[in-house]
Amino acid sequence: MYTADKWRDYEVLDTGDGMKLERWGDVILSRPDPQVIWPKTQPEIWDRAHARYHRSAKGGGEWEFIKKLPESWQIGYGGLKFKVHPTSFKHTGLFPEQAVNWDWMAEIIKQRGGTPRVLNLFGYTGGATCACAAAGAHVTHVDAAKGMVQWAGENRALSHIDETSVRWIVDDVIKFVEREKRRGKVYEGILMDPPSYGRGPRGEIWKLEDELYPLVNNCAELLSDRPLFFLINSYTTGLQPAVLGNILLKTVGARCQGSISADEVVLPVKSGGVLPCGASGRWQAV
């Protein structure tokens, strides 16, 4: 398992009954998690939550604020800083489990030296972008949601990363990749965090099982002749890590020499056990 166990400002306190209890700095949140199908280990600590997210039977849900929270606050990871706040979709603007991948990419970038080019697709609020840029890379950050790209820019500033280290692109990922191919652009590192399902600005439907392989195959053509890494993240329930490993084998592995690994991504739980948080497939140059 890939375990994100180096956090100080974040921790999963307990899990159970379809919920997870998390500490984000000094703020404690209770949020749903469909994979938590066991009972709570420490039910007595759940009344410490400052806010709880309640799912609606009609879809979506809403926050119940037990204590007044700031509009937003910051948490840190190493030298990085991130703005977080509860959103209407139960998220906070950060996926802490991805820190294990941030560390993996940052170490590879530092070992290579120079200023390798990294492409971050579905970049969201820029956790991976900040980690790679802080390690010395120049990152092209792509996301179709303008608000998420703006949030990522705030995280860059909070982390005191030079503004010239990141190129911000608000665009459809598939169309952007096609244009980069035509332009002859190349990158030493590529990562992606695609959604399970989504719609484009013109109603285009994205289904991970239909679109992932063609996208990775196209992206493999954007790797330079001295590539460093390729990372695929997935939160799709039921998609096994081996699927990501096989996709990398048949695309990146067919073009470049390297090693491939794929596994679950998890967070340690203070009360015991781990919280499953999807899967990652990694290719690394030898």
Task: Tell me if 40 sits within 8 A of 30, measured CB to CB.
Answer: no
Scanning the structure block, which residue is given the tokens 């039977």?
57
Domain spans of the chain, in order of start: 2-84, 96-285
Distance CA 220, CA 213 (A): 11
pLDDT of residue 156: 98
Report DSSP letters for the chain, one per residue.
Answer: -EE----SSEEEEEEETTEEEEEETTEEEEEE-TT--S--S-GGGGGG-SEEEEE-TTS-EEEEESS---S-EEEEETTEEEEE---TTS--S--GGGHHHHHHHHHHHHHH-S--EEEEES-TT-HHHHHHHHTT-EEEEEES-HHHHHHHHHHHHHTT--GGGEEEEES-HHHHHHHHHHHT--BSEEEE---SEEE-TTS-EEEHHHHHHHHHHHHHTTB-SS--EEEEEE--TT--HHHHHHHHHHTHHHHS-EEEEEEEEEEEBTTSSEEEEEEEEEEEE-
CATH number for the domain formed by residue range(s) 2-84: 2.60.40.1180
pLDDT of residue 207: 75
Task: Tell me if 132 sits within 8 A of 103, measured CB to CB.
Answer: no
pLDDT of residue 200: 61
Q: Indicate the angle between helix axes 241-250 and 208-220, nearest 10 degrees.
A: 40
Selection from 260, 256, 254 nearest residue 241 by Cα: 260
pLDDT of residue 56: 84
| Residue pLDDT tens, the chain, 286 long | 999 999 999 999 999 999 999 999 999 999 999 999 999 999 999 999 999 999 887 778 999 999 999 999 999 999 999 999 999 889 999 999 999 999 999 999 999 999 999 999 999 999 999 999 999 999 999 999 999 999 999 999 999 999 999 999 999 999 999 999 999 999 999 999 998 776 665 666 667 778 899 999 999 999 999 999 999 999 887 789 999 999 999 999 999 999 999 999 999 999 999 999 999 999 999 8
Q: What predicted TM-score, i.e. pTM, was given to this entire model?
A: 0.94
CATH number for the domain formed by residue range(s) 96-285: 3.40.50.150
Distance CA 140, CA 115 (A): 13
Task: Tell me if 51 sits within 8 A of 66, measured CB to CB.
Answer: yes
Asked if the domains 2-84 and 96-285 are classified in one and the same CATH topology, the answer is no
pLDDT of residue 106: 98
